[in-house]
Structure 1
Amino acid sequence: MGTKRKQAEVSGNGATSDTTGQEVSISIDRTPANIQPVLATFLAAVPPVASSFSTYRYIANSKNDDCIVVSETDKVEYVGQNFENGKPLINGCRYMIGVYDPEKDTVVFRQAPYVRVNTVIKSLKNSRGVAERTNPSQIPQARNDLGVEFGSKKQKAGIRAEERNRINMDNVRNDMSVIGASIEQRASTMPSEEEIAKENEKARPVPKYDPDAKTAAEIYDMEDVLSKSNAAFINALALAKATDPEEHRKYVPVRTEFVAKKIEQIIGQKKPDLALLRRVMYLAYLIRFVNIGSKVIQNRESCIRSLCCSPEIATVIFDKFADCVAGTANPDGSPVYKKTPASESRLMCHIFVLMLSLNNWILFPADVAADLGLPIRETNRYLESVGCKLEPISSSDAASKGRKAAAASKKAVLKAPVKFPKANLRGKK
């Protein structure tokens, strides 16, 4: 069957193809566009998936296709261009990007400039000066600075060794005054040990706390752990009305010994405390989130469905304890998420604060470790991270809890004023 040619709706040459029995119009769009497609190569760090770039025409050059693209994050700037030293980056070929419209059965091609994007670290930019950054001869040094900032230990050692081998002592002697001024300038901008300690205190993975609290109950802001507005989405009343323990499984996704005992204690009262019951249920949701595998957590929507609670609470938990992986995407185009060491520490600290608040600010590490399936050392470390002191079990505690508690010989107690382990002054990597 012969094909029919459709007139192109934009300027350019039109052609048709009938490979599937369906007429498709192909054209080239040379008209000016508000949004110009660009092909980019990133020489170093790849920006996050949700990053947006701005495109500018380079007016210093008479060529219409010279352009510059820019973007930035809190720590990094991305600057790219499709020319260098007044010449295009590539010669002899052009890149085209085609957009298929299934409703109109058209494919429109538009020329896309090829851009090479360089990465600039903001903290290094301020100390190096504009003239040094814009000098093409400083590109190797900029790459070395990027390697020192983000490279592995082996890469950093190699860069330092290479720089040591390139030192010219005659130049160093002539530039002693310049080097001294540079060192003095950088030293003046470096944070003090006290400032670093304060930053590390702010970065602790614990909920908001009051270091001057007089009682253990006043140390942590439980509104920061579970706000009243979010707690309203937890159906504690339905759980309180459930008389059969087997019905509790409909509302609580995990069955740890701690959670089961607290539910029985609260429901067993004449007038159950629904606020405490919501706190127990929220604790169960967090423990459920701990047990969700990495493959499920990669996709935000599937992970929210797996939490077995209201979508509002699941969204709060996911946004608080999952981190987006920059530069990656799922097959459907959505960002990839994962639990990083920092988010896992934040999650476990919130779990232990909730357990302490439900147990009169005292926990037995051996019982908690067995209940959550954690090593005893890791359990002790989390308890110390939230401010607990490990004390020997008293004779009354040993008698009430039996041989198991006596063998453990430790209990974790949260006391005011709270004291945390000394922060690492080197900071997190």
Structure 2
Amino acid sequence: MTTSKKRKREIDDTQRVSFALSDQPVTQLGPVLAHFPSIKPTKSTSFKCYKTQTQKPMIDNEDMPFAEIPMLVAGETEAVDFYSSEETRRGSLGSRYFVGVHNKRTGITTLRAAPLHILTHEVKALKGLQPAAVSTLQRLEARAALGETFGTKKAKLAIRAQERNKVDISAMEGVADHLQESILKNTSTLPSKEEAKASADSTRLIPQYDIDALNSSDIYPLHNMIPKPEWKALSISAYMSAGGGAERVALLPFKRSNWINDHLAIAFASPSPNKTAIKMLIYISTMIAFHKATFKDINKEVIQQKLPMVPSVVIDGLLSRFTETARGSIEARRTPEKGTMLLTHMFALCLHVDDFATDTSVLAADLSMEPAKVNMLFKTLGCKVNKLTQSDLKRLGLPDSAGEVKRAILKTPLEFPKPRTRRRA
């Protein structure tokens, strides 16, 4: 009979280990577990926790357990930034992590729930650097190399056949890369749809406008068409003291406009003529006369002789805004763009006189223009060319027979015509 020499080690009660959960509130700040899969920082590197915003509404962070609060752990050294990666949330799904603190005196290990953060890193010197572009040729070469190494016999035969039929484009490699880079650079600066619309609206050949105007009268303010110095220079005293309609028409710069003559007669038919409307009619008459006088050659002295009743400041203003002087020349000329600007400024004034519903057919006859072209210019101002409704006829004080005539109507909100798109055949 043999006796074992091994001595049984009796475990003292002080050497036993027991576990207990922390009695601290779960909302109190606690430890954080950090895992560094690649580069590990030095022990002197400090880290901080930051709360993050979540898309879904959650309960107040003050009532949420510390281990469940959405947060970001971040720290940095002189060369590297450390921060929580996207793997953090996936790594915590389905698991709970605890940090234990052992008390040697009592033999109790106290456990406290702690969030796990898997940290990634970024080298500061490499921030902002774009990855090198890979050309199409490089992709094809890499694909062929993979096929030769891991492909089937049939795939390898196809790769070799493609290599035999390949055209040598090595001479064009530099050009192709340059073209690709140019295309990427140019397309990256293309404007968005909203930016393109804003740019088109800002370059329209029309007076300055207020796109957010609530009333039709505020879309094109009066002094955007007639500058204040020219407005003050206009005098209506001769028209107010004239003996009759024929005498007033004789004072106009342009006397053969049925639209102006009819509106002037209507203005003076009132017991108290509207002086603002009379001034606008005189200025519109001046613009029509200027339009006729500058059709070919432009000579300021000749224009002033033809329009003796028009103040010189008005003629100077029309010449400066609606004509151009070529570089190296002193002769003014009217370009198609300036001619369009003159007409749209004139038509915006006509809308003011007509309470923003103008009969375009009469104006077209006065200007010797096609009605379709006049309507198009009114549409560029944001007008709709339609027949008047019963409410419009009542507002303007017109008879029901006036509803048969199409008019250019300006209303809010201001909307410009959309560009036409060609349909595919």
Structure 2 residue aligned with 1:215: 215
Relative distance call for 1:401 and 1:348 in structure 2 (3 A) is farther
1:263 offset after TM fit, Å? 1.9
Tell me, in whole angstroms, the C-alpha distance in 2 between the residues paired with 1:222 and 1:175.
57
Relative distance call for 1:283 and 1:401 in structure 2 (3 A) is farther
Structure 1 residue aligned with 2:227: 227
Q: Which amino acid aligns with 1:310?
A: P
Structure 1 residue aligned with 2:236: 236
Tell me, in whole angstroms, the C-alpha distance in 1 between the residues paired with 2:192 and 2:332.
35
Structure 2 residue aligned with 1:322: 323
Tell me, in whole angstroms, the C-alpha distance in 1 between the residues paired with 2:333 and 2:420.
25
Match of 1:347 among 336, 342, 350: 342
1:387 offset after TM fit, Å? 1.3
Structure 1 residue aligned with 2:311: 310
Cα-to-partner distance string for 1:110-158 (whole Å, 9 max, x where unaligned): xxxxxxxxxxxxxxxxxxxxxxxxxxxxxxxxxxxxxxxxxxxxxxxxx
Relative distance call for 1:226 and 1:176 in structure 2 (3 A) is same
Moved more, 247-256 or 301-310: 301-310
Pair 1:416-2:412 in alignment:
yes
Structure 2 residue aligned with 1:288: 289
Gaps of 5+ in 1: 1-167, 330-334
Q: Which amino acid aligns with 2:353?
A: L
Tell me, in whole angstroms, the C-alpha distance in 2 between the residues paired with 1:395 and 1:383.
22
Tell me, in whole angstroms, the C-alpha distance in 1 between the residues paired with 2:201 and 2:368.
29
1:219 offset after TM fit, Å? 1.5
Tell me, in whole angstroms, the C-alpha distance in 2 between the residues paired with 1:270 and 1:172.
84
Tell me, in whole angstroms, the C-alpha distance in 1 between the residues paired with 2:196 and 2:178.
28
Gaps of 5+ in 2: 1-167
Indicate if the aligned counterparts of 2:297 and 2:333 stay in contact, CA closer than 8 A: no
Cα-to-partner distance string for 1:321-376 (whole Å, 9 max, x where unaligned): 1122345x4xxxxx222221211111111111111110111122323323332212
Tell me, in whole angstroms, the C-alpha distance in 2 between the residues paired with 1:230 and 1:183.
51
Structure 1 residue aligned with 2:146: none
Pair 1:389-2:390 in alignment:
no
1:249 offset after TM fit, Å? 4.4
Tell me, in whole angstroms, the C-alpha distance in 1 between the residues paired with 2:185 and 2:304.
49
Identical-residue share of aligned pairs (%):
23
Structure 2 residue aligned with 1:279: 280
Figure out how many residues of one structure are paired with residues of the other and give that number: 248
Structure 1 residue aligned with 2:204: 204
Tell me, in whole angstroms, the C-alpha distance in 1 between the residues paired with 2:405 and 2:327.
45
SS in structure 2 at match of 1:412:
strand
Structure whose alpha-carbon radius of gyration is higher? 2
1:244 offset after TM fit, Å? 2.9
Q: TM-score, normalised by structure 2?
A: 0.52
1:171 offset after TM fit, Å? 3.4
Indicate if the aligned counterparts of 2:387 and 2:405 stay in contact, CA closer than 8 A: yes
Tell me, in whole angstroms, the C-alpha distance in 1 between the residues paired with 2:286 and 2:210.
26
Indicate if the aligned counterparts of 1:362 and 1:411 stay in contact, CA closer than 8 A: yes
Tell me, in whole angstroms, the C-alpha distance in 1 between the residues paired with 2:405 and 2:246.
34
Aligned residues: CA RMSD: 3.0
Relative distance call for 1:401 and 1:368 in structure 2 (3 A) is farther
Q: Which amino acid aligns with 2:224?
A: D
Structure 1 residue aligned with 2:355: 360
1:305 offset after TM fit, Å? 4.3
1:317 offset after TM fit, Å? 1.0
Relative distance call for 1:393 and 1:268 in structure 2 (3 A) is closer
